[in-house]
Chains A and B, each alone.
Chain A
Amino acid sequence: MTARIYLPEETLAGVLAKAFGNRSFLIGFAITLLVAAIALLSFAWTPYDVTKLVIADKTQPPSWAHWFGTDHFGRDILSMIMVGARNSIAVALVAVGIGMGIGVPLGTFAAARGGLADEALMRLNDLVFAFPALLSAIMITAIFGPGAVNAIIAIGIFNIPVFARVARAGALAIWPREFILAARAAGKGATQITVEHVLPNIATLLLVQGTIQFALGILAEAGLSYVGLGAQPPMPSWGRMLFDAQTRMVTAPWMAIFPGMAIVITVLGLNLLGDGIADILDPKSRRRR
């Protein structure tokens, strides 16, 4: 779907006006902002200290003192969700960074060169795609040990081919354009053209893919932590909270309900944001609405 997005041929004011009229964008933007704000707030303040275990208060149901209840160590779940937001955002963001940082140069290079280099890179892409992502992530963490950093690497590796594909597809659409021909005529090299002309024109494409991968990264981090391979204690993480909750579904279902909702809301927000951006920047959307 993303390949259909072309560069915006309108003014900034026009884009902004459309943004304010786009429900997906507004809701998604608001949720994303809220989650980021909560994560930031957690650096300064949380209702309770999440590193302090209060065994006497273990598995308390939700109450006025603990809105979302407490976990099996007596920690406040609301506070843990707040701090956990940091971890989710950091892991997903860096993983997207890895994917973009390596995938985009690869993809644009393949598009610029074409031929054998292109073919080889794309087949390599296929190879990575052929491995079940989660299984490979589990193997990577099995080798290097569980932890937030290794989770980032594991998720990041699988972002690389995604961005490589998107960047290549976007770049291939740009290369035949007149202004590229003009730049070539002016004697600019492939690298220079890529940096000066191709990249700015596929930036929005990458932005949309970035939000999608960001959302997927949060889900992936949660999945890895859920099997015990993500962030390690005492650092709270949403997936890890679900891992601890799994065996206590019978006695303390609130331990599972709230962190799960945090994941759902965050991912929903990011997806809406991505959809919204795509809508705003997609010339076809005018026809669709």
Chain B
Amino acid sequence: MKLWKTILAASVLSLAAATSAFAARTDLTLGIVLEPPHLDPTAGAAAAIGEITYANVFEGLTRIDDNGQVQPGLAESWAVSDDGKVYTFKLHSGVKFHDGSAFSADDVKFSLDRARAKDSLNPQKPLFAHITDVTAVDPATVKVTLDGPQGDFLYDMGQVAAVIVGKASADGNKDKPIGTGPFKLDHWAKGSEITLVKNQDYWGTQAALDKATFRIVPDAAAAVPALLSGDIQAFANMPAQDALAQVQSDPRFTVVIGATEGETILSINNKKPPFDKLAVRQALASAIDRSAIIEAASNGLGKPIGSHFSPGDAGYVDLTGVYPHDIAKAKAYLKEAGLENGFSATLKLPPVPYARDGGQVIQSELKEIGVDLQIIPVEWAEWLSQVFTNKDYDLTIVSHVEPNDIDIYSRPDYYFQYENPKFNDVIKELGSTVDKDKRLELLGEAQKILAHDVPAVYLFELPKIGVWDAKLQGMWTNWPIEADDLTKVKWTD
């Protein structure tokens, strides 16, 4: 017995010696859930495009960091005119695209003009709506003129769809993305993986990794074995489900639960009876037990929210107590609306686990106050055309992952069909306010209006379940934008 232990110890030691003899690793395989349709962030809305390319392959004038703060990107500095309308960006010099062509102010002008053009297919075209003119003053200076002061402009220029593309290579980016970032595309085995390699000619600090592979792993059944076997060393957001505990108890892995900008809500068609009555919406809000939904739809990891605002962002107000879970109260609200016998409605669910699982819990909860929900599962394509575009729905569950998007409730003709002049005034004022404190105050006010008026029932903030090898450093904790920025990721020993 003792002999066995000695042999075992010896072999473990020699094995350890053998591994430490290698230099630190420089390759990384990450798991992602969805394969991107293509790799051009300026031409497609799929989140997976940005996840892979943002900060790695493509860069914008500014960049958003792990904490959601604006940092210099391709622009090393900028100046804002006194009226807040003109931004003058000073660009880094010596920047090259992956195809070897030099980056200059012309590319910035080209990219912004392309994004705001009449026939633009940029998925975030509204970001560029306030730009009235872009001028390349000299190769290293760009002047952008707006139609008025914009509190979020620098943040918006750091978003995924605002990255700068090359004039000559822009049309081929879907297949062969040509950016300025520290990584370039090596190959893409469709349906299985996408490999990036280090860009040796990068203008800034070189990345520590030589090679990063994004492998498509759609769910927990495949993710857990892949992680345990070492095939995959990191998940920026793991499809973990109930298996997380198993990974958490394993010292080889670091598990970091971070915040996203994904407000997961039960959207209501506010113009469709009976949901046009405030009391009915209040009844829904009171009948729903957030903790049960969070447990079922996000394994207890999501943070409860009471309004359309991420708990991780500056200006957050905790409004989860406005309508606490109270069946009797919910029934009273229904009575107030003249619907004490309940009613029936449909609940359209897109094909994501949080919606499909959360929907079943909501169906069972609303049954208790006599509201009979018929679940209609839909694909994204149908959700977009039926729910989002044609407003043909009663209720739906969806996560709004765009950052700083509380203004969607003021958009005319948005799928909530919500109209509140008071709220619109607050948002309008917010748009042209640059002062930080005043902005936070207005944001708080907007949150409160939504919490009380219930244009949607606010459920939880989608968690980011970061899981990676304990020896890996520099992965993002939070997802202010959906991106796996690998510029600072490295192996330690």
Contact = CB atoms under 8 A, between A and B. Distances in A.
A32 B200 CA distance: 69
Contacts of A248: 220-221, 241-243
Name the residue in B225, B241, B367 with the highest tally of chain A Cβ atoms < 10 Å from its Cβ: B241
A251 B243 contact: yes
A237 B225 CA distance: 28
B207 interface: no
B241 A52 contact: no
A140 interface: no
A183 B126 CA distance: 79
B246 A73 contact: no
Contacts of B246: 250-251
B259 interface: no
A145 interface: yes
Q: Is the interface of B mostly helix, strand, loop or mixed?
A: helix
B241 A247 contact: yes
Interface residues on A, range: 20 to 34
Interface stretch (B82-90, B374-382, B441-449): B374-382
B150 interface: no
Name the residue in B242, B359, B376 with the highest tally of chain A Cβ atoms < 10 Å from its Cβ: B242
Interface stretch (A33-41, A204-212, A227-235): A227-235
Contacts of A73: 296, 357, 360-361
Contacts of A251: 220, 241-243, 246
Interface residues on B, range: 20 to 34
A234 B364 contact: yes
A72 B243 contact: no
B351 to A, nearest CB: 7
Interface string B241-263: 11100100000000000000000
A252 B360 contact: no
A53 interface: yes
Nearest to B374: A232
A233 B296 contact: no
B224 interface: yes
Name the residue in B219, B246, B376, B377 with the highest tally of chain A Cβ atoms < 10 Å from its Cβ: B377
Nearest to B379: A142
Contacts of B357: 72-73
Interface string A36-59: 000000000000000111010011
B292 A250 contact: no
B363 interface: yes
B368 to A, nearest CB: 10
A59 B295 CA distance: 12
Interface string B32-47: 0000000000000000
B239 interface: yes
A248 B239 CA distance: 11
A124 interface: no
A2 interface: no
A59 B357 CA distance: 14
B242 to A, nearest CB: 4
A146 interface: yes
A222 to B, nearest CB: 17
A55 B243 CA distance: 16
A197 B165 CA distance: 77
B361 A250 contact: no
Contacts of B221: 246-250
B295 A55 contact: yes
Nearest to B381: A142
A259 B376 CA distance: 24
B97 to A, nearest CB: 41
Contacts of B378: 145
Nearest to B367: A51
Nearest to A246: B221
Contacts of A250: 220-221, 224-225, 243, 246
Contacts of B224: 250
A145 B351 CA distance: 13
B303 to A, nearest CB: 17
Interface in B288-305: 292, 295-296
Contact of A72 (B225, B239, B242): B242
B384 to A, nearest CB: 15
A247 B292 contact: no
A207 to B, nearest CB: 36
Nearest to B228: A250
Contacts of A142: 379
A228 B349 CA distance: 12
Interface string B224-246: 11000000000000010111001
Contact of A247 (B220, B360, B363, B364): B220
Contact of A55 (B225, B241, B361): B361
Nearest to A145: B376
A78 to B, nearest CB: 19
Contact of B292 (A55, A145, A146): A55
A249 B222 CA distance: 9
Given A53-B296, A55-B296, A248-B220, A232 B241 contact: no
Nearest to B220: A247
28 contacts: A51-B367, A52-B364, A53-B292, A55-B295, A55-B296, A58-B242, A58-B295, A72-B242, A73-B361, A145-B377, A145-B378, A146-B377, A228-B351, A232-B377, A233-B375, A247-B219, A247-B220, A247-B221, A247-B241, A247-B353, A248-B241, A249-B221, A250-B225, A250-B246, A251-B220, A251-B241, A251-B243, A251-B246
| Smallest CB-CB A-B distances: 9 pairs | A247-B219, A251-B242, A53-B364, A55-B292, A250-B224, A249-B221, A247-B220, A55-B295, A247-B221
Given A232-B377, A250-B243, 10 more contacts: A51-B364, A53-B296, A73-B361, A142-B379, A145-B377, A233-B359, A234-B360, A247-B219, A250-B220, A251-B246
